Structure 1
């Protein structure tokens, strides 16, 4: 530090803060939000902290200063535990006779309230799904809109609530649904649903989970105007609800005797407690075959991945894609799976 000039001392101070916060965030998946909800909010900033530390690392490296070791070590620790924030390659898609394609999409009520100004959004969204032709699609923030025709799917299960406008979740399938149900979360419109579908001789349970929303207005002016203490407290309370919902979901899932696929909008990142709990014993399809940052939510500040497709060890992930289409505030994801012999 003595050899650094005044400007670089300031830079290193902020570098130290960013590195400390990132290192601290690595332990957050092991801390239940009910224990320390305010601290758990830091997990949302992990992608941002990774990018900031990468910039600090490059800054010191270009200056040939040993201070680059600080962010370098913290980034390596994160890579060894979480893997890469950015996927550089993806396996070639393999056509297999026993393949199953699964899409997850938070459709934001099919643009019911014209959040997107394009009047053809609903038509384009349905045409997109028809073109990609998933065998199974899992919808969050679903609304049985009069102009939405998904009759090209043979089977469906909907769980809706509300008096004026029915909203909720749905699973559409090209394969027979022999069983279905809902895991109703208390004090919220969010919930989890499931269907058991039959493909040849295999019965597969597909879950569609939608955890408590953080209710963050992503507009810059809205975030800057909101009281930061109130914002953190509100998000912390949402994290507590997410933990309770996760516990209910896992209690139900652990009783299933079928092959399991979990789709959904967790309203939280892959660096969170709820993701760690839900993904335990499952494979994150993006980590196997995804590409890029895997951004699934339209957040301007940094790439945010909160929508997932997780599969148990009966499946191989042959392909995965995040589609950059703006028909909602989320981006659809689709995995191509096959059964292991």
Structure 2
């Protein structure tokens, strides 16, 4: 009787797991509640492993079912918890791989320029910009970028002359995609910096009322190959971290904050799903090998991540170990910043720089090699 009940639970668990995987592939603009089913996927994956262990001890023949499902769904497991014990050290270069390309990506939170983000003597702003300028990365992609042009003479404004500091002074060509220029001439947007020649560049807009967008640049490598780098920032949830914490800390907090959070959650889901579909169409038309840097504002078990992971290698899932959280805040285990690479690339290394805490996102650095055809 106990075994019959356990077997029934195992079948229900497998059904849940397969349904959650199906939910991941449904865009929110067609049926947004599916996103909630997708969020249960990591729980279903973990419980399936528990079921496999249980049946190994009880009945090997039944164990084959959850074990087989675990093998088939392992790529989904790797999205949230990468396991590569043999890659704790840097991977040796493939003999057919070309020169290495180091890519740094970071959401820099406008270098803490707003008064509520500043610290004494603009210390975090100075350290963040200097660290980026000193980075050995040949390509630097920044989201929530901020720049104050060189024409300013005040000491404070010189701190935020980020285009010159990270670009020209560090031997990099700069491409700044501006979403806003205020009355003082300060610039907001995203940026790509490259030590390789920049041949062409452009932007992909997500609508007139949205500051979220994508930018791209074609770069010529020393080998003569041309690659295309995309830098993009998908729609934010527009949810305050404290509101999220309050909503699950008490019943009164859930009642007070829950409905508003749900509305914003829905708006973000819908926007990101069509934004990523727009980008995928652009990616598929690229004549060159692709590298993608992004603040997805979405978890690995989401439609937007799934559309990218189905077509590209996620750098962390390919060579990382653990969760690879990139959000620097009170919400644990959140990885919303990602780098992806096309099939032409070998991913050698990927690191999250937890020692750089100056933004609410930790920077990521990856090393790639273009594999010869």
Question: In the aligned structure 1, how far is the partner of 2:126 from the partner of 2:12?
Answer: 48
| Ranges in structure 2 where 5+ consecutive residues have no aligned partner | 4-8, 149-156
Q: CA deviation at 1:260?
A: 0.9
Aligned residues: 327
The structural deviation recorded for 1:79 is 4.8
Alpha carbon RMSD of aligned pairs, Å? Answer: 3.5
After superposition, give the CA deviation of every residue in 1:106-159 in whole Å (9 maximum; x if it has no partner). 111111124364641112212332443111011111111441421314201111
* Cα distance in 1, alignment partners of residues 49 and 347 from structure 2: 33
The 3 A distance-change label for structure 1 pair 327 and 46 is farther
Secondary structure of the 2:29 match is: coil
1:332/1:48 CA distance change after superposition, 3 Å = farther
Q: Which residue matches 2:217? A: 195
| Shift of residue 310, structure 1, vs aligned partner | 0.8
What SS does the corresponding residue of 1:313 show, helix, strand or coil? coil
The answer (yes or no) to whether the contact 2:98–2:370 under 8 Å persists in 1 is no
- Report the equivalent of 1:162: 180
Secondary structure of the residue that 2:366 maps to in structure 1? strand
Cα drift, residue 40 of structure 1: 0.9
Matches of 2:19 and 2:331, distance apart in 1: 21
Structure 2 residue corresponding to 1:311, chosen from 337, 341, 358: 341
TM-score normalised by length of structure 1: 0.81
* TM superposition shift of 1:177: 0.7
Structure-2-length-normalised TM-score: 0.75
1:33 — aligned with what? Answer: 28
Greater helix fraction, Structure 1 or Structure 2: 2
**How far is the alpha carbon of 1:87 from its aligned partner?**
2.9
Tell me how far apart the structure 1 counterparts of residues 16 and 130 of structure 2 sit (CA, whole Å): 44
Corresponding residue SS for 1:142: strand
Q: Secondary structure at the match of 1:34?
A: helix
Between 1:182-191 and 1:223-232, the stretch displaced more is 223-232
Compared CA separation, residues 36 and 116, structure 1 to 2 (3 A): farther
**Cα distance in 1 for residues equivalent to 2:98 and 2:193:** 21
- What residue is the counterpart of 1:99 in the other structure? 100
1:91-170 superposed matches below 5 A: 91-94=89-92, 98-113=99-114, 114-115=116-117, 117=119, 119-145=122-148, 146=157, 147-148=159-160, 149-150=165-166, 151-164=169-182, 166-170=187-191
> 2:313 is matched with which residue?
283
Q: Which has the larger radius of gyration?
A: 2
Aligned partner of 1:235 in structure 2 is 265
